[in-house]
Amino acid sequence: MIDDTIKEVLKRIPYGFYAITSHSGDDVNAMTANWVMQTSFDPRHVALGLQKTSYTYGLIEKGGVFAINIFLKDGADALKPFTKGRSKNPDKMKDAQYSEGPATNSPILKGAAAYLECRVVRIVDTGGDHDIVVGEVIGADVMSPGEVGDTLSLLDLGWSYAG
């Protein structure tokens, strides 16, 4: 086994587990993501680490908007249908239950506890396999009360996407 201390340490960073939804015209998608964080207070910005080859990347690039759907720990089952990419599950949105967000028309998934709607400010090419998408938060809502400790994380699922 190769000693990879960097990977071990990166896996110690706590990550939430979210659904990123997007659209371009009538084409909609939802994918799971965990590299999400706030990056500015004024204006309110968030950043996503997004794989360049993901279907959602293309929709966000074309449509210029996205939503971050936040789930509580007991909402993991509502999120799991979106863990496989479009190449492995091309019809994943066929039976998805969602409404359109009022600010961006991005899908707001049934079962989400809260969401943020964002307009793309910049996509930063990192030179790696993921880019950073910076979005200005232009809308939000809370459907289920909760605290930060109630939010679904990779740790709750026993999963890891780091290293």
CATH (domain of 143): 2.30.110.10
Assess contact for 58 and 28: CB atoms under 8 A.
no
Q: Tokens 């066929």 correspond to what residue?
A: 94
Residue 133 resides in a domain: yes
Structure tokens at 89: 């599950």
Query: Containing domain of residue 124, as a range?
Result: 5-157
Please state, in angstroms and rounded to a whole number, the distance separating the CA atoms of residues 92 and 136: 27
CA distance 93 to 2: 40
Report yes or no on 162 lying in a domain.
no
**Domain membership flag for residue 39:** yes
CA–CA distance, 142 with 122 (Å, rounded to integer): 26
Mean per-residue pLDDT pooled into runs of 10, the chain (163 residues):
80 92 95 96 97 96 98 93 85 92 97 98 97 98 95 88 76
Q: For residue 117, is it within any domain? A: yes
Confirm whether 163 is domain-assigned: no
Assigned domain for 45 exists? yes
Q: Which pLDDT belongs to residue 80?
A: 87
Give the pLDDT of residue 150: 95
β-strands 65-70, 114-124 pairing? antiparallel
Residue 148: DSSP 8-state: G
What is the model's pLDDT at position 159? Answer: 81
Q: What pLDDT does 114 receive?
A: 98
* pLDDT score, position 87: 82
**How many independent structural domains does the chain possess?**
1
What's residue 11's pLDDT?
A: 86
* Predicted pLDDT at 2: 60
Domain membership flag for residue 13: yes
| Domain assignment present for 102 | yes
